[in-house]
Amino acid sequence: MTKRGGLFIALALIGAGYFGAWVWHPTAALTYSADDLGEWLKFFPIVQAGQSGIVRELFYLPIWITAIGLDLFAGRVKSIGWKMMLVGLSALLVFTPLPKYPELLTAYRTSEFAPTFWITVASLLIAIVLAIFGGRLADRVEAIIWIVMGLAAASIAPLHFIKVMPEIERLYHFSIGWGIFAVAIGGVGLAVIGVTMLKRNRAYS
């Protein structure tokens, strides 16, 4: 498998894991993805009281990382067709955490949705910059970006999920779904490939 192929598979795992089950229950209505958790957790009394330390926006991190990673990937791709497809897919994914209409119209200024809105805007801008200028990055810089994104994907949202598990358990018994494992494995994959790229770059230097 090529380095680029490995990166794409790792990003695909993170993206699929985001939409996959994190909280699994035999009743489909009680099965939640990371996308669902980001919305559902705001109804927890402990979250509404502001005493939990739970940041629901962290559950959106895997899809933002996937979108940014796809554009970094696109920036290093020579084929115009593949580049456009990757950029288009990234554009679709980066907006996933935003609320639906009509809440979207005022999302930028409401306390409930403003963090999600502005982080989405920042992610979109980063993705656009990487899609345009990613091909000009030094190999060492690209490797470091993959390492940082991989470690963030593998740790932040999964560890935050572990933090909220007791609160979910109070509502009903559940099993941990495959989505969280896919995100963690994909993140580790990105980091490992990034480390390999960095070592290879140093060897050549």
Q: Tell me how crowded residue 139 is: count the other CB atoms within 10 A of its CB.
A: 14
Count Cβ atoms within 10 A of the Cβ of residue 105 and give its class: 0-12 exposed, 13-18 middle, 19 or more buried: exposed
Helices (H), 107-177: 114-133, 139-171
Confirm if 147 and 198 have CB atoms less than 8 A apart. yes
The per-residue pLDDT for 135 is: 87
* Spatial separation of the C-alpha atoms in residues 198 and 107, rounded to whole Å: 40
pLDDT at 48 over 80: no
**180-205, pLDDT tens digit by residue?**
999 999 999 999 999 999 888 777 65
Model confidence at 110: pLDDT above 80: yes
**DSSP bridge pairs for 33:** 21
What is the pTM (predicted TM-score) of this model?
0.92
Name the β-bridge partners of 51: none
pLDDT tops 70 at residue 52: no
Separation between Cα atoms, residue 86 and residue 20, nearest integer Å: 21
* Domain boundaries along the sequence of the chain: 3-204
The predicted pLDDT at position 1 comes to 63
Query: Which residue bears the tokens 């067709």?
Result: 81
**Residue where the block lists tokens 């192929």:** 5
Q: Please say whether the beta carbons of 191 and 199 come within 8 A.
A: no
Average pLDDT (71-82) is 89
Q: What is the pLDDT of residue 103?
A: 87
Q: Which of 174, 185, 190 is nearest to 26 (CA)?
A: 174
Quick one: angle between helices 80-94 and 114-133, nearest 10?
170
Cβ–Cβ under 8 Å, residues 66 and 96:
no
Helix (H/G/I), strand (E/B), else coil: 176: strand
| Helix residue ranges, H only, 95-138 | 114-133
| 121 close to 68: Cβ distance less than 8 angstroms | no
